[in-house]
Amino acid sequence: MAIEKVGVYRKWLEPVPKDNNGKPISKSQWIRKRRHRWIARWYGTNSKRYGKVFRTRKEAENYASKLQARVNLGKADRPANLALREFTHEYEQVTKGQVAHATLQIQIQTLRLFENFINGSVPLHKIKSRDAEAFIAEKIASGLSTGTVNKYIRTLRRIFNLAIEPRGYLQEGQNPFANIRERKKAPRAIRYVAVEEYAALMRSANWLWWKAFLSIAYGSGLRRGEILNLTWVDIDFENQLIRIVPKKETGSMLEWESKDHENRIVPMSDETTQLLADLQVQSEEGNAYIFISAQRLQRIFFRRKISDWSPTSEVVNNLARDFGIIRRHAGVEKCTLHDLRRSAITNWAQKLPIQVVQQLAGHADISTTRKYYLSVRPEDIVSATRLLNSILARAYEK
């Protein structure tokens, strides 16, 4: 890394051209008649001179600006021979609290798989693209699904980007996974739960708790964890709104934050409003939560006290199992609780602009909304068939 001012200069790619008389052209003509690129130059902590070539001056200046900023912040020196194993340990420590616990566990697990493959004692800056490609090839050969392999690529690419910025362990362009392409796979069909199927689920759910839960999932599109961590304070009955906000740890409240760490407000239907009003009548006095009972809350606090609780533990047990029972009794084809959320988002997309759907869904990236949550409804198929028949009918008109 640089230890003094980073400069940007022209890098001439050929000798000075000559004029018709065989004499070198004047320096004032070099820019127009002599091929060149732009180079950012600096001296490293080892007193050696370094440079990076760019096609345009703007690219070179942007790079130099970023490098100079690191020098100004006192981050010029890269740790000598930082091993992959050391980086994994540091990454786990500094990332805690910045991402969801489950996400961090997946990232660390993926890093350690790469460690075991390449040897954790290898210096970070010596890992090359060929090592990354060999790791991915080995995972494919072991029989892992394309989806899992692609998840490894995305995870490791992101982590090594963080090794470049903000940590400065690698220089720009040294991410070994930067150019590793994800393997092609057929997209999995999105399961859309039709309104008729939802109605069947509601009839099958003979417990008010479940009716309210399903109504929020299908009508307001909340994630499972968001529903379970709702408190009565989050419900605006008058305006029929649900507020998704983080919770601070107290003697009667569990610490919690939504997946994308953003507050948002979503609407709720007349049905949901009435179900929650009925559920509030039956709620235990002094319990702030809608779906976590006072008894279960005390059990959670006790388990935390004796260190028998982790961020991945379920605040309500057997949720997926009990939903499966409701689904089978309703005669509804296989679906998950998350499919109810996807269906809600698909329903919104029929009338609302995509950016509004993104905000209601709580997606940080609009591409997530488009790729994973918008499905084709049965009525869309019917409409498309009618349109097709109408168009083709013209071919036989006299």
3-class secondary structure per residue, 263-328 = CEEEECCHHHHHHHHHHHHHCCCCCCECCCCHHHHHHHHHHHHCCCCCCCCCCCCCHHHHHHHHHH
What pLDDT, on the 0 to 100 scale, is given for residue 51? Answer: 83
Query: Does the pTM exceed 0.85?
Result: no
What pLDDT, on the 0 to 100 scale, is given for residue 2? Answer: 46
What pLDDT, on the 0 to 100 scale, is given for residue 388? Answer: 64
Peptide bond into 166 cis (omega under 30): yes
Domain 84-164, architecture per CATH: Orthogonal Bundle (1.10)
Please list, residue by residue across 138-149, b when 16 or more beta carbons sit within 10 angstroms of its beta carbon and e when fewer do: ebeeeeeeeeeb
Residue 12: strand pairing partners: 36
Q: Which top CATH class is 195-334?
A: mainly alpha
- Output the CA torsion 271→277→278→279 (10° steps): 110
Q: What is the DSSP letter of 254?
A: -
What pLDDT, on the 0 to 100 scale, is given for residue 361? Answer: 87
Asked whether 260 and 363 are in contact (CB, 8 A), the reply is: yes
Q: What is the mean pLDDT of each run of 10 residues along the chain (398 residues)?
A: 71 86 86 87 72 88 80 54 86 80 88 93 91 93 90 93 79 88 79 93 95 95 94 94 91 84 88 95 92 93 86 86 96 95 90 87 83 71 72 64
What pLDDT, on the 0 to 100 scale, is given for residue 389? Answer: 74
Q: How far is CA 285 from CA 289, 294, 299, in A?
A: 10, 9, 17
Domain spans of the chain? 7-72, 84-164, 195-334
